[in-house]
Structure 1
């Protein structure tokens, strides 16, 4: 048994208790908490508390809103006061990158997520249990996603009972229904429901599916051919519109089941404004352009935008988004690392979590004056900058946007200017 006070936080937001031999990392705890740890397990070379009791509360705490807090893996920091969350995110970012940056909080901290992936398993229907890849929290609510979560889950459970379809068995890797993905247009009120399943539906099953989710703007059934535990499949429109729309300021975006869109619609406008504030000149290259989230917004503000994205479907969506907004932006299929960096004034990069890697050297060899680096992974940004970008660019400015309240994660927008 280990008894001690949480002295600080790890880079991934776990409370740290000093033990005799090695520190113990305690999820759902914060600086100032006093805990009694009854069991640990080794994970990625660390001792992670498996069973612990909170003996004394930190003054940084607030009462969590969700009944599933402390078990569900969705919200590690829901027990922290929101102002403290922002302060700690800024401190963690500076500790990792060495950059002190102001942080802008999310305009809404409840009901802000525009998508949720509910796993349908024999352990329950909901979200993954923290630290247990085979554990599922049988949800009744999700206040960070939507007030309508109980309605969505009730419809799903009733649908499964009526049709007799089997939930996915995580241990045996078999079953009929694996995930339910629900998307909401927070500013349009439109709803997309997408069932990810391993079986083709019969006519009666499809009728029941449409009946139970008749409130949705768009209803999809996605066939999943593999056993991987992720919400991906070949989407087929069953009923309603092929897309739902989201409106961010004066820009409308089309959203499809298989397209990526930033998860916090309310904070997205802050992120877009930050990117716009750092962009210079007239010609912008949007690398990793996705569905044109940044590119279409910048084109709406008078920039001439070209975008490059490896996913052909995302490129099709980006060009549709440009057309419906009537802007000067064109997107094409291509690999970022093979893209000629020509006569652009600013390059926007929003790479996957692994970072830019070899694309960094491509940028260093270019003549581009300005890079706007959007990052959800400060460690990847630091590696890209220290190993490559630092040769030709300096950090001119940075701002943090809290796209993910109640988690340790934060989105950074970093302005890099070519050295002269």
Structure 2
């Protein structure tokens, strides 16, 4: 009897999600767990006419880029996809992804490549949304990230990308949920770790009873955290215990700024990288006292307030009314209310007329979500009234490239520089920053 063997492939590169890329019989094969220069055996789990998705089942020749994953749950948990890749190589892969997108999608090339922004690669994640589920067949509760390509929750006892204190708390979180009367009605625990307090938001679909409340208070005291409860949407979250905990906040010491926020509001997951990113963005933007500057998709004012601290007046625009209100409070808290203005606006539906009505801006910072800022960049004037400098912070290299194509090839900007920001080590997420100038 002939024994069936898995097909083999020589891996040529990595894609933006950390999959090895090979070509076999005219088809592109994306192979989980495989690295460039490796010869691997693989098993396909998805086949299409032009490509296949596969899992490496044996490494026949190992790459020099391969390292031993630090997390014992790597390969099962879907939270990380690149722990088997040397950390420096991860950054190089992301830089290549950025440059390829700019060239292929945007038909643009930056005059210079910025040095990558990177920092701690472990314990960096100060924001996370963990799923919780009671599994009757196992008689236990699971708390963690989802398994790879699955709706199941990984059976996690620790997590290397969470701070050590939170990682060590995972078994206790499981025990807490297991002992609650609503263990089948509590699907999520959201983490928000600030400078002075660590907050856990319990998503509760039914109210806690008195015994539950006692257990939650004991947990909070034992682990020195503050518990919030969220009965419905994010806006319904409220502090439960202790009520005298410090205010949740993060800081930007270079600019003398402290940013209070609620645990369900958007902030960057990696505070170390965020500080460096804000510093670089302000340095590239180079705001001057007396200038009028726009911060588009401003959120809580992460960039707005540092720009104002440099002496400019800043208009921050954001689609969420709640975030705009928090940004106003943050400006007041930091003594910058007189130099800032915040408006609620759907920037995905902005028009040239609406943008022109806001007045002339000397410079502009754009920090959109993954969908990018196409309508905004299309609305920028093509004459001398346009901002002479734009800094674009991106969490999706494809939409950055698409928008850069408009800025450079339609609006007449020059792409002076671009570089990656390794906000999410060990994952395929590519964050970046780019500088555009009017010649």
- Where 1:180 maps in the other structure, the secondary structure is strand
- Where 1:40 maps in the other structure, the secondary structure is strand
Shift, 1:109, TM fit: 1.2
Shift, 1:243, TM fit: 4.0
| Residue equivalent to 2:40 | 35
With normalisation by structure 1, the TM-score equals 0.89
C-alpha contact 1:274 1:399 (8 A) present in aligned 2: no
By relative contact order (CA 8 Å, sep 6+), the higher-ranking structure is 2
| Residue equivalent to 1:58 | 63
1:203 partnered with 2:205: no
* Residues 129-168 of structure 1 mapped to structure 2, 5 A cutoff: 129-132=147-150, 134-167=151-184
Cα deviation digits, residues 315-357 of structure 1 (max 9, x gap): 1111121122112322222222254442211111111101112
User: Which structure features the higher share of strand residues?
Assistant: 1
- Where 1:18 maps in the other structure, the secondary structure is strand
C-alpha contact 1:394 1:416 (8 A) present in aligned 2: yes
Change (3 A) 1:388 1:323: same
| Residue equivalent to 2:139 | none
C-alpha contact 1:38 1:52 (8 A) present in aligned 2: yes
| Residue equivalent to 1:229 | none
Change (3 A) 1:40 1:162: closer
Cα deviation digits, residues 1-35 of structure 1 (max 9, x gap): 32112111223331112222422111232212222
Query: Which of 379, 401, 408 matches 1:382?
Result: 401
Based on CA coordinates, which of the two structures has the bigger radius of gyration? 2
Cα deviation digits, residues 282-304 of structure 1 (max 9, x gap): 22111111000010122222222
1:222 partnered with 2:222: no
1:300 partnered with 2:313: no
Instruction: Measure, in 2, the Cα distance between the counterparts of 1:71 and 1:154.
Output: 18
| Residue equivalent to 1:335 | 346
| Residue equivalent to 1:19 | 24
C-alpha contact 1:192 1:216 (8 A) present in aligned 2: no
Change (3 A) 1:11 1:400: closer
- Where 1:120 maps in the other structure, the secondary structure is strand
Cα deviation digits, residues 142-170 of structure 1 (max 9, x gap): 11111023443223222122224334xxx
Query: Which of 407, 410, 414 matches 2:430?
Result: 410
Q: How many residues align?
A: 402
Q: Relative to structure 2, which stretch is displaced further, 290-299 or 134-143?
A: 134-143
Cα deviation digits, residues 231-289 of structure 1 (max 9, x gap): x5621221234841112223211121221101111111211112111214422111111
With normalisation by structure 2, the TM-score equals 0.85
Instruction: Measure, in 2, the Cα distance between the counterparts of 1:34 and 1:211.
Output: 53
C-alpha contact 2:119 2:272 (8 A) present in aligned 1: yes
- Where 1:135 maps in the other structure, the secondary structure is coil
| Residue equivalent to 1:248 | 252
| Residue equivalent to 2:124 | 112
Cα deviation digits, residues 93-136 of structure 1 (max 9, x gap): 1111134623324221111111121111246321011222x122
Query: Which of 233, 236, 239 matches 2:238?
Result: 236
C-alpha contact 1:66 1:143 (8 A) present in aligned 2: yes
Q: Relative to structure 2, which stretch is displaced further, 208-217 or 324-333?
A: 208-217
C-alpha contact 2:12 2:37 (8 A) present in aligned 1: yes
> Structure 2: which 5+ residue stretches go unaligned?
1-5, 104-108, 136-141
Change (3 A) 1:341 1:389: farther
Instruction: Measure, in 1, the Cα distance between the counterparts of 2:172 and 2:143.
Output: 12
Instruction: Measure, in 2, the Cα distance between the counterparts of 1:389 and 1:342.
Output: 22
Q: CA RMSD in A?
A: 2.2
Cα deviation digits, residues 54-75 of structure 1 (max 9, x gap): 3332111111111111222222
| Residue equivalent to 2:265 | 259
Shift, 1:389, TM fit: 5.3
Instruction: Measure, in 2, the Cα distance between the counterparts of 1:70 and 1:14.
Output: 12
Instruction: Measure, in 2, the Cα distance between the counterparts of 1:412 and 1:51.
Output: 30
Q: Relative to structure 2, which stretch is displaced further, 43-52 or 313-322?
A: 43-52
